[in-house]
Amino acid sequence: MVRERDDEHDKFDRPKRRTKPRTKDRPNYDDAAIARVVTIDRGRYTVTLDDRTITAMKSRNLGRKGVVVGDEARVVGDTSGDEGSLARIVEVLPRRTVLRRSADDDDPIERIIVANADQLVIVAALADPPPRAGLIDRCLVAAFDAGMEPLVCLTKADLGKPDEILALFEPLGVRVVVTQQGGDLGAVRDVLRDRTSVLVGHSGVGKSTLVNALVPDAHRSVSYVNAVTGRGRHTSTSAISLELPFGGWIIDTPGIRSFGLAHVEIDQLIKAFPDLQDAARDCPRGCLHSATEPECALDVAVGDGTIPAERLVSFRRILASMSTKDDY
Ligand SMILES: Nc1nc2c(ncn2[C@@H]2O[C@H](COP(=O)(O)OP(=O)(O)OP(=O)(O)O)[C@@H](O)[C@H]2O)c(=O)[nH]1
Ligand SMILES: [Zn+2]
């Protein structure tokens, strides 16, 4: 795969970025149509605009700024979507959320993989392969840090019981749905409806099975997208956004082995738990809220019954998962 050098500059999307003043002769694209980026394939962006699927390239004026799946972008030029047509992305709208994957051996830079998703769906099988709680914990950290609501989807209910996993995540208030191949998907549809959800999960947990059940023509639309880019079929490593027939979008993310958690700050993570955040106001400065902190106010809050003990135990478990060398 040809890697886009532009994405190196995703880090400029970090809150502390210094913005370059706009030059006064910068063209004004405020009237340009706003499209949604659904997948990226070797420098070609597939975007949807109204009901059209359009192939676009990045305009030069974007400089080195990255464009990722889920971005809302202004497009100009030939937006007909006709075969062989090519539009230009001239501006990326501010991102509401960003999900990052970690640096790894192949690529030393933490990069944004998906923008603007509301929900992170952590798919784990109840058996074959067996669920790994530590991996779900790290996905939860990634979700909370990204400002996305997590949802755990336990598949292969015909092969195992969900009770143990439920017990681990219930104290955190994390929603869990249980599914099985050929089973009723009503509960899953309800949690996905009208939202943009990113699916993550190890190979073999049943993600494709789930996507095909939710989006019956997913296969067709994947090859359709590739036909539009004119580059034939190949296994893309880019995330791909699929429209749900009952409303909303689901973004599949092949090939992510781990999330970038190196930058996650505890202050940010604890915001997902308002009761803990409240109690932590009484912590000494720089308290890491771990079980070894001598004066952590979270222990006091458990002692006086303000916070259930299992909730603090679960919170500390996900805190600790941040520093493990596990995948995800
Ligand atoms: N018993 C059982 N098997 C299932 C269920 N869901 C999926 N499978 C099987 O598990 C295997 C993996 O399913 P996939 O949907 O391909 O899993 P995936 O997560 O997409 O895996 P990759 O395609 O490798 O990313 C297949 O053989 C499925 O038939 C289920 O609910 N119960
Ligand atoms: Zn503390």
DSSP code string of 220-240? HHHHHHHHHHTS------S-E
H-only helix segments in the chain: 133-146, 163-169, 186-192, 207-214, 218-229, 266-270, 274-280, 297-303, 309-321
Q: Can you give the pLDDT at residue 173?
A: 95
Better-predicted residue by pLDDT, 196 or 257 = 196
- Contact between 178 and 203 (Cβ < 8 Å): no
- In the annotated binding site, the residues are 155-158, 201-209, 283, 287, 289, 296
Q: Residue 54's pLDDT is what?
A: 95
pLDDT for position 2 = 40
User: CB within 8 A of 195, min separation 6: which ones?
Assistant: 118, 119, 248, 249
pLDDT of residue 327: 64
Helix (H) or strand (E) holding 112: strand 111-115
pLDDT surpasses 90 at 324: no
| Nearest Cα residue to atom 28 of ligand 1 | 206
Amino acid at 39: T
Worst-scoring range by mean pLDDT, 137-146, 198-207, 219-228? 219-228
Q: Ligand 1 mean position to 162 CA, how many Å?
A: 17
Q: Distance from the CA of 292 to the center of ligand 2, in angstroms?
A: 10
Are the CB atoms for 120 and 198 separated by under 8 Å? yes
Q: Whose CA is nearest to atom 1 of ligand 1?
A: 156
Of residues 304 and 30, more confidently modeled? 304
User: Residue 44: its pLDDT value, please?
Assistant: 94
Mean pLDDT of 286-292: 93
pLDDT at 61: 86
- Residues 142-168 have pLDDT tens digits of 999 888 999 999 999 999 999 999 999
Domains of the chain: 110-252 (3.40.50.300), 266-321 (1.10.40)
Q: Whose CA is nearest to atom 7 of ligand 1?
A: 206
> Using CA positions, which residue lies closest to atom 11 of ligand 1?
204
Identify the three-state secondary structure at position 136.
helix
Band (21; pLDDT cuts 50, 70, 90)? low
Give the model confidence (pLDDT) of 30-65 as tens digits. 888 999 999 998 889 999 999 899 999 999 888 878
* Ligand 1 centroid to residue 120 C-alpha, Å: 19
| Secondary structure of residue 192 in the 3-state scheme | helix
pLDDT given for residue 29 in this prediction? 82
CB distance 126 to 155 below 8 Å: yes
Annotated binding site for Zn(2+): 283, 287, 289, 296
Taking residues 111-137, what's their average pLDDT?
A: 93
Of 17-21, 24-28, 195-199, 291-295, the poorest mean pLDDT is in: 17-21
The answer on pLDDT for 68 being more than 60 is yes
Q: Whose CA is nearest to atom 13 of ligand 1?
A: 206
Which one of the ligands is nearest to 156 CA?
1
Query: According to the model, what pLDDT value does residue 243 have?
Result: 92
Q: How far is the CA of 97 from the centre of ligand 1 (A)?
A: 29
Name every protein residue with a CB atom under 6 angstroms from any ligand 1 atom.
Answer: 155-156, 158-159, 180-181, 201, 203-209
Q: How confident is residue 104, by pLDDT bands cut at 50, 70 and 90?
A: low
Ligand 1 atom closest to Cα of residue 159: 1
pLDDT at 262 (0 to 100): 74
Quick one: average pLDDT of 312-317? 95
Task: Report CA(159)–ligand 2 centroid distance (Å).
Answer: 40
Q: Which residue has the tokens 């880090």?
A: 11
Measured CA to CA in angstroms, residue 173 lies from 129, 233, 272 at distances of 25, 41, 10
Give yes or no for a contact between 248 and 89, defined as CB atoms under 8 angstroms apart. Answer: no
Phi, psi at residue 209, to the nearest 5°? Answer: -60, -40
pTM: 0.84
Q: 227 falls in which pLDDT band (50, 70, 90)?
A: very low
